[in-house]
Structure 1
Amino acid sequence: MSEESQDAGPRSSADAAPPHPAPRVRLLSAIAAAVLVLDVVTKVLAVAQLEDREPVEILGGLVYLQLVRNPGAAFSLATGYTWVLTIVAIGVVVVIVRVARRLRSTGWAVALGLVLGGALGNLVDRLFRAPGPLHGHVVDVVSLLAPDGRVWPVFNLADSSIVSGGVLLVLLALLGRELDGTRAPRRADRREREEEATGE
């Protein structure tokens, strides 16, 4: 062993090369694709089976299945701004695709995959469903506790995926988990380092 190797000593985990982003990008892509496929399938089935039917009660009234065509955002918000929501959805997809190049965290990959799949699911409706491109109405299917969204707005699998991914992103941020797989230093740690740097 050379003197240079002996002087260098063992490398710490902080000096180790960060994990390659490719596996995380594949995980993100797989989750997004699965959400998109399941969302499209459930909407196709909903249109085929629930069109012009009364809400179907399941689980003793805990859940109702019914077909609602929603021109607004998730949970029927921002009705009347369909074209704006379409542009926003496209922007979200572009941002996630760009961010994926720096992705090295499994948690972030799961969260972004859920958000991306949900955004794509509803975007497909806005682009290809009536009344036309950029103005298409999103198919919602699930109503909780009562029909017609009287207790909770009618939603679909894409909405659930977006909300779940968003909650996970907030949790990761609160835990200090970074996109690149590192952990942000706590405030107390930062204060100690600043004091050491200033010699206090």
Structure 2
Amino acid sequence: MTTTDHAGVRPRRYPLLLLVALTAIGVDLLTKELALANLSVGESVDVIGEFLRFTLVFNTGAAFSMGTNFTWVFTCIASLVVIAIGYMGLRVRSLWWALTLGLMMGGAAGNLVDRFFRDPAPFQGAVVDFIRLPNWPVFNIADSCVVVGAVLVVALTFKGINLDGTIAVDEREGGEDSGEDDETEGRKR
């Protein structure tokens, strides 16, 4: 695969990535505090009938409450993920990748705040979850950000959009002998 770029160097999108991450963290923490202030543990409040409920639970494990005895491991892994995204984000010049990585970084960091600062102890804190859908584990805004970010990673990868905003061109499909206009190959997203 090759990339084609006729438009020059795009600006870095790191400030956007950080803004998205900080917004995700802020919204996550705000909604968790609202849940803690307005719900009792295990209490379930209908928001949209039985489709959407708020139910306050504390999760010391990973997704779907797996690994509840290994909270410190998930804390270390999530910390490494946030650091890796922060480092990788320095290369981002694509608006879509900045949004995507910002959501993932903010979601991971939002749950890390719980792990670091909530009871029972630092690095072992329980994550506050409160959003409940039918046939699905209770989750929070941070979890939603991570999932939406992961879906966007898949979409951007399938579309061939690189971190720098160039589009990967498969030489077998869009190479020089295909007759395609080089101007369209270097489009940026």
Shorter chain as normaliser: what TM range?
A: 0.7 to 0.9
Structure 1 contact 32–117 (Cα < 8 Å) conserved: yes
State the 4+ residue runs in structure 1 displaced beyond 6 angstroms: none
Asked if 1:133 corresponds to 2:117, the answer is no
Q: Give the alignment partner of residue 68 of structure 2, picking from 56, 60, 79.
A: 79
Residue identity over aligned pairs, in percent, reads 45
| Cα distance in structure 1, aligned partners of 2:59 and 2:26 | 20
Q: Which has the larger radius of gyration?
A: 1
In the other structure, the counterpart of 1:166 is 150
Structure 2 contact 42–57 (Cα < 8 Å) conserved: no
C-alpha displacement at 1:78, in angstroms?
Answer: 3.0
Structure with more strand by fraction: 2
| Cα distance in structure 2, aligned partners of 1:92 and 1:52 | 30
In the other structure, the counterpart of 1:41 is 30
Structure 2 contact 41–57 (Cα < 8 Å) conserved: no
TM-score by length of 1: 0.81
RMSD, matched Cα: 1.8
Structure 1 contact 28–112 (Cα < 8 Å) conserved: yes
Structure with more helix by fraction: 1
In the other structure, the counterpart of 1:181 is 165
Moved more, 49-58 or 101-110: 49-58
In the other structure, the counterpart of 1:59 is 48
Q: Which has the higher contact order (CA 8 A, sep 6+)?
A: 2
In the other structure, the counterpart of 1:6 is none
TM-score by length of 2: 0.86
| Cα distance in structure 2, aligned partners of 1:51 and 1:100 | 39
C-alpha displacement at 1:15, in angstroms?
Answer: 4.4
In the other structure, the counterpart of 1:17 is 8
Across the two proteins, how many residue pairs are aligned to each other?
174
Read off the aligned partner of 2:32 and give its amino acid letter: K
Give deviations 1:162-186, integer Å, cap 9, x for gaps: 0000110111011110011111112
> Can you give the 5+ residue segments of structure 1 that lack an aligned partner in the other structure?
1-12, 146-150, 195-200
Structure 1 contact 75–159 (Cα < 8 Å) conserved: no
| Cα distance in structure 2, aligned partners of 1:127 and 1:69 | 14
Read off the aligned partner of 2:87 and give its amino acid letter: R
C-alpha displacement at 1:57, in angstroms?
Answer: 1.2
| Cα distance in structure 1, aligned partners of 2:85 and 2:41 | 37
Q: Give the alignment partner of residue 88 of structure 1, picking from 77, 83, 88.
A: 77
Moved more, 75-84 or 114-123: 75-84
